Amino acid sequence: MVAKKILLLDGNSLAYRAFFALPLLTNEHGVHTNAVYGFTMMLQRILEEEKPTHMVVAFDAGKTTFRHETFSEYKGGRQKTPPELSEQFPYLRKLIDAYRIKRYELPNYEADDIIGTLSLEAEQAGDEVIVISGDKDLTQLASPSTTVYITRKGITDIEKYTVGHIQEKYGLSPEQIIDLKGLMGDASDNIPGVPGVGEKTALKLLTAHGSVEGVYEAIDQQKGKLKEKLVENEELALISKKLATIERNAPIEIKIDELTYSGPDQDELIQVWNELAFKSLLEKMDYTAEETEKEELVFEVLQETDPAIFEDEMAIHLEMYDEQYHTCDLLGVSLATASKTYVIPMDVVKGSEAFKSWLMDETKKKYMSDSKAATAAFYRCGLEVAGVDFDLMLGAYIVNPSLTYTDLANIVQEYGYTDVSQNEQIYGKGAKKSVPDDGILHEHIARKGRTIWAVRPTVLKKLEENEQFELYYNLELPLATVLGTMESFGVQVDKEQLVAMGKELGEKLAEIEKNIHSLAGEKFNINSPKQLGVVLFENLGLPVLKKTKTGYSTAADVLEKLEGQHEIISQILMYRQLGKILSTYIEGLLKEIHEDGKVHTRFQQALTTTGRLSSINPNLQNIPVRVEEGRKIRKAFVPSEPEWLMVAADYSQIELRVLADMSKDESLIDAFKHDLDIHTKTASDVFHVPLEEVTSDMRRAAKAVNFGIVYGISDYGLSQSLNITRKAAAEFIDNYLKSFPGVKNYMDGSIQTAKQNGFVTTLMKRRRYLPDINSSNFNLRSFAERTAMNTPIQGSAADIIKKAMIDMADALEQENMQTRMLLQVHDELIFEAPPEELEKLKTLVPQIMENAVQLNVPLKVDFAFGDTWYDTK
């Protein structure tokens, strides 16, 4: 039997110490983290140095304790816990849980008493004990087998109080610490002691007489003022001693044997640290993760492919050099079954007929991760993938869309699997990035295939528990193939058109720049908000309406309010607008054109928290449309075949229709059933005027309210968007919710659901967890509440268009059409089509999209076409 080493931590005291020792840090949500951070640093160090076998963190429970019965002013006059600290306690508890350390608190007792009781129990059993606190009171617990660690100055700096050390420092035994407090008192706990007796006098008295009682027995040996004070305050001294005495027989319900410590839950810890934004700790963790031993994996590198190795169900992984799977180097393939793992080098893959026919055989089930990437990359080698039956990345994303899914190692870590390295560890990063020797590379690839096979059952189990098979097998998995095809097709871009526009814009910008510089009376970088701020608000003396964290805000909404005040403002706004078009949409887009004259975006399918797609390299979901100058960029997006047309079909008000369906609001449903202009209808209801009397301003206001509703309304947000007072905005909202009681009901219900379940769901049972919904932090809680209202709406709309895309791809194939789906922009689909298919598309596309799902309101799709994307209006 290994000797026990028991660590008893005073949670409250350590949190206080850390809080006051460190500057206020905050994470990205504005939650303070300094106390938790300090506590963590201390804990890390202690764990490493002491390697305890048993641990507990004791906390004070509630405000009053048995000590208040003795002395009602106990701990009186103490500053209330600062809110910046109290908001950290929930995180502290989470952290401790992640370490898998027991927490304990006991009504009516303080942490001291829990520690005192446990240390006595341990002592009697002959175990080694370390007590850790920021409070010197605890030193009274020191004994031959118990050392008390008291933090000093910072939080990781520790003073170790053994019996000997106390003797040396004070000339007292540990028990006499209580007497010391009895005489001198303790200001922080409002323990009075004997007025006029400080540490010096108390120590002298105790060295002579041993204890408080001893002092009074020999009271006649004192004289003068001191004697007077002692006599006068005898009762106070005894009460003080009692207060300072740690209870060592508290009625605790735990036993030391229940406090075993066997290391943290790494995944949980990573999650908590992430939440708290403890970056340095996370990096350190990566470093240590590298050193953890992986279980040995036996695999076979194939120089030729015997058809016999291909089975009906296999995990398959295609290793790529980076995320840009449309162009990057392909490094090899691994295959895994229950008993076998193979690695096939890329040149062997390319030359293997057996592999090719297995890959395209739909009856052979493939288990992959990021099947879209692999499908698109194989496509480049002339290889077609069929029969994808599992996609690890997508599965994990459905289980929890709030996590990031970039590296396979990180994905499977969520499921407790650590036998695969992170790409960065294999390839390095930055300038040092390179492909390692075959030995290392092959093992890495092999482990990925093995990992997919190994983790699949766990992911599937989760999906089944959450009733997400439908979402998984019938939506995301088939969508991956559809998206991969769209990306591989690409979109034709008219390079000359862009270059010509760029030239024109560049000249115009140079002119505006000159203009701005002369208006400012000096040359400066207009693109630098810092320099611009100095020019506008210091040199020109314009009023500062808004500030950012780092200085003056020069954002467009601020500048617009200053437009009348100086000629330079409108020039700057113009410069910004055109500069954006040039840098992002002309120069940026030109850089993304591939050799085939097309751009091949990547739709990220496992990224957003709501279920939407995102688009990168280039982003084709934010091509300008709202202002004409930018919209002209769309003239450069053209069909890839001569004479073909661009086609656009967008859902009209899909989010509000989803809201109507989910809220069952009669008025809203009725409006859509009659196909009313929803903003006019809203204005009519909110302003209590007939439809025909709604003015354009009223409609504009109503439109903003409708947006607000979808986003999870707040009066402040609405007031910003409409440029009105908060009060007026609040009134609008109030009127809206009275007019649409079903919506109010839905919003409340959504928050309730989140509070009860910890998550909200969409039409197709997509989940989003909202851990902050019950937070005591107003900001966090409010954000979670708005998210609870918004995610089901935005997410359900995303579900619907995804379903429409799958149906659309099926229909185009079924009907043997040449038309190609190119892009999805959240509520619209873009196609290129031969002119002879146009008539058919006019009915087919809206029909498919409008019937992707059945709601209790109709879905409506607007259809448009033209020679370029610009002309689809």
Partner DNA sequence: CCAATCACG
Partner DNA sequence: ACGTACGTGATTGGA
Binding to DNA in span 422-481, by CB under 7 A: none
Distant-in-sequence, close-in-space partners of 712: CB < 8 Å, separation ≥ 6? 747, 785, 786, 787, 788, 789, 790
Judged by CB under 7 A, which of 221, 539, 548, 843 binds DNA?
Answer: 548
- Closer residue to DNA (CB): 39 or 732: 732
- Closer residue to DNA (CB): 202 or 394: 394
- For residue 708, the minimal CB distance to DNA (Å) is 2
Q: In whole angstroms, how far apart are CA 630 and each of 507, 510, 622?
A: 16, 18, 11
| Residue 835 contacts residue 810 (beta carbons within 8 Å) | no
- Closer residue to DNA (CB): 609 or 745: 609
The total of other beta-carbon atoms located within 10 Å of residue 230's CB is 21
**CA 358, CA 387: separation in Å to the nearest integer?**
10
SS3 category, 528: coil
- The rounded Cα 684 to chain-centroid distance in angstroms is 40
**CA 775, CA 782: separation in Å to the nearest integer?**
9
724 binds DNA (CB under 7 A): no
The first and second tokens of residue 714, run together, are 């707040």
The window from 129-137, 355-363, 569-577, 852-860 that contacts DNA (CB under 7 A) reads 569-577
Q: Binding to DNA (CB under 7 A): which residues in 64-103?
A: none
Pairing between β-strand 146-151 and β-strand 54-59 as defined by DSSP bridges = unpaired
Type of residue numbered 510: A
- For residue 315, the minimal CB distance to DNA (Å) is 27
Q: Binding to DNA (CB under 7 A): which residues in 584-643?
A: 584, 587-588, 591, 604, 607-610, 612, 614-619, 621-627, 630-631
Judged by CB under 7 A, which of 20, 89, 379, 707 binds DNA?
Answer: 707
Q: In whole angstroms, how far apart are CA 609 and each of 263, 366, 482, 762, 764?
A: 31, 27, 21, 12, 15
539 binds DNA (CB under 7 A): no
- For residue 465, the minimal CB distance to DNA (Å) is 24
Judged by CB under 7 A, which of 418, 488, 515, 583 binds DNA?
Answer: 583
- For residue 547, the minimal CB distance to DNA (Å) is 8
Q: Binding to DNA (CB under 7 A): which residues in 726-745?
A: 726
Residue 234: name the closest of 254, 213, 203 by CA: 213
Residue 95: name the closest of 59, 151, 26, 43 by CA: 43
- For residue 584, the minimal CB distance to DNA (Å) is 4
- Closer residue to DNA (CB): 676 or 825: 825
Type of residue numbered 22: L
Site string for DNA, 813-832 (x = CB under 7 A): ------------xxxx----
Residue 536: name the closest of 500, 512, 563 by CA: 563
- For residue 786, the minimal CB distance to DNA (Å) is 4
- Closer residue to DNA (CB): 267 or 629: 629
- For residue 19, the minimal CB distance to DNA (Å) is 18
The window from 90-98, 108-116, 580-588, 862-870 that contacts DNA (CB under 7 A) reads 580-588
- For residue 239, the minimal CB distance to DNA (Å) is 38
The window from 286-294, 778-786, 842-850, 851-859 that contacts DNA (CB under 7 A) reads 778-786
Type of residue numbered 816: N
555 binds DNA (CB under 7 A): yes
| Residue 686 contacts residue 740 (beta carbons within 8 Å) | no
The window from 88-96, 117-125, 204-212, 581-589 that contacts DNA (CB under 7 A) reads 581-589
Alpha helices of 407-437 — where are they, by DSSP H? 408-413, 423-427
- Closer residue to DNA (CB): 615 or 819: 615
Type of residue numbered 680: T
Residue 317: name the closest of 256, 234, 378, 268 by CA: 378
Rounded to the nearest 5°, which phi and psi values hold at 768?
-135, 125
Q: With 0-12 CB in 10 A as exposed, 13-18 as middle and 19+ as buried, what is 283?
A: exposed
Judged by CB under 7 A, which of 549, 595, 690, 692 binds DNA?
Answer: 549
287 binds DNA (CB under 7 A): no
- For residue 512, the minimal CB distance to DNA (Å) is 14
- The rounded Cα 285 to chain-centroid distance in angstroms is 19
Reading phi first (left if > 0) and then psi (alpha if -120 to 50, else beta), residue 48 is in alpha
- Closer residue to DNA (CB): 260 or 720: 720
- Closer residue to DNA (CB): 279 or 461: 279
- For residue 448, the minimal CB distance to DNA (Å) is 23
Reading phi first (left if > 0) and then psi (alpha if -120 to 50, else beta), residue 387 is in left
Site string for DNA, 11-30 (x = CB under 7 A): -------------------x
Judged by CB under 7 A, which of 8, 92, 180, 704 binds DNA?
Answer: 704
Residue 759: name the closest of 745, 746, 744, 774 by CA: 774
- For residue 143, the minimal CB distance to DNA (Å) is 46
- Closer residue to DNA (CB): 245 or 553: 553
Site string for DNA, 494-533 (x = CB under 7 A): -------------------------------x-xxxxx--
**CA 788, CA 754: separation in Å to the nearest integer?**
6
- For residue 277, the minimal CB distance to DNA (Å) is 9
Provide the β-strand partners of residue 9.
57, 132
720 binds DNA (CB under 7 A): yes
Judged by CB under 7 A, which of 217, 433, 778, 858 binds DNA?
Answer: 778
- For residue 867, the minimal CB distance to DNA (Å) is 19
**CA 819, CA 839: separation in Å to the nearest integer?**
12
Q: Taking the CA atoms of the chain, what radius of gyration do you get in angstroms?
A: 35
576 binds DNA (CB under 7 A): yes
Q: Count residues near DNA (CB under 7 A).
A: 77
Peptide bond preceding 307 in cis form (omega within 30 of 0): no
Judged by CB under 7 A, which of 713, 805, 808, 852 binds DNA?
Answer: 713
**CA 707, CA 700: separation in Å to the nearest integer?**
11
Residue owning tokens 């975006």: 601
- For residue 858, the minimal CB distance to DNA (Å) is 18
721 binds DNA (CB under 7 A): yes
- Closer residue to DNA (CB): 67 or 703: 703
Judged by CB under 7 A, which of 127, 715, 772, 799 binds DNA?
Answer: 715
